[in-house]
């Protein structure tokens, strides 16, 4: 069992073609692949007038309620809702770094998602944010060259970025963390209340 997994999608990410119809909150909760689990469906795909239903569904399954925010345009709306944490796309653009600062001002955890896929400049990130090693994407880059120089600067979080039940796992991300000498940062001390 993994320590935590906070980057997981479900059918609430209704316009994401990678999400399998079986990837429901109840199934993710039942699989118990990690001790601490959070759902972070795409903010831009959630019903803006019914975020409460999403949160109730996730909390009702005993999971943390997060959301994945696709850059600066959605930050203000996402920050206004009391999510437990954020998974954030930070492209190498001024507005994206400003959006990150705005999310961090909520004082909720912010995980910078798959930075090597979005050309995030890790040198520009504030030290208080969390950097993700994403099982889905980490092998698609020179991870030693990209993450290696920043091992002592950031706290790292492993995630599956699961869109389908078979993706619930972190074996590649865990391998990269071991090779780089990274000890995963635990975002929440205890599992969410059931």
Mean pLDDT for 110-131 is 95
**What tens digit of pLDDT does each residue of 39-54 get?**
999 999 999 889 999 9
Mean pLDDT of the chain: 96
Q: What is the pTM of this model?
A: 0.96
Q: Apex CA 49: angle with CA 45 and CA 54, to 5°?
A: 60
- pLDDT class for 171, splitting at 50, 70, 90? very high
CA distance 186 to 98: 25
- Domains of the chain as residue ranges with CATH: 2-180 (3.20.20)
193 against 92, higher pLDDT: 92
Instruction: Compute the half-sphere exposure of residue 141: CA atoms within 13 Å on the CB side of its CA.
Output: 21
Does an H or E element contain 55, and which? Answer: helix 51-60
pLDDT of residue 24: 96
Given the structure tokens 């209340």, which residue do they identify?
A: 193
Q: How many CB atoms lie within 10 A of CB 26?
A: 11
Least reliable range by pLDDT among 14-18, 128-132, 180-184: 14-18
Examine the pLDDT at 142 and tell me if it is beyond 90: yes
- pLDDT class for 14, splitting at 50, 70, 90? confident
Q: Is 130 helix (H, G, I), strand (E, B) or coil?
A: strand
pLDDT of residue 127: 82
């Amino acid at each position: 069992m993994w320590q935590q997994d906070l980057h997981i999608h479900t059918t609430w990410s209704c316009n994401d073609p990678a999400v399998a119809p079986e990837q429901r909150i109840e199934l993710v909760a039942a699989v118990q692949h990690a001790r601490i689990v959070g759902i972070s469906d795409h903010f831009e795909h959630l019903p803006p007038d019914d975020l409460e239903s999403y949160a109730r569904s996730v909390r009702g399954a005993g999971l943390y309620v997060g959301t994945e925010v696709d850059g600066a345009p959605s930050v203000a709306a996402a920050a206004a809702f009391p999510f437990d944490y954020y998974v954030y796309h930070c492209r190498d653009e001024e507005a994206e770094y400003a959006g990150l600062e705005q999310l961090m001002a909520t004082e909720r955890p912010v995980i910078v998602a798959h930075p090597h896929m979005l050309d995030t400049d890790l040198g520009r990130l504030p030290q208080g944010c969390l950097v993700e090693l994403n099982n889905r994407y980490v092998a698609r880059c020179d991870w030693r060259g990209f993450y290696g120089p920043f091992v002592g600067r950031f706290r790292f979080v492993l995630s599956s970025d699961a869109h389908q039940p078979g993706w619930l796992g972190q074996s590649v991300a865990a391998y990269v963390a071991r090779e780089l000498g990274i000890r995963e940062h635990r975002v929440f001390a205890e599992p969410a209340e059931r």
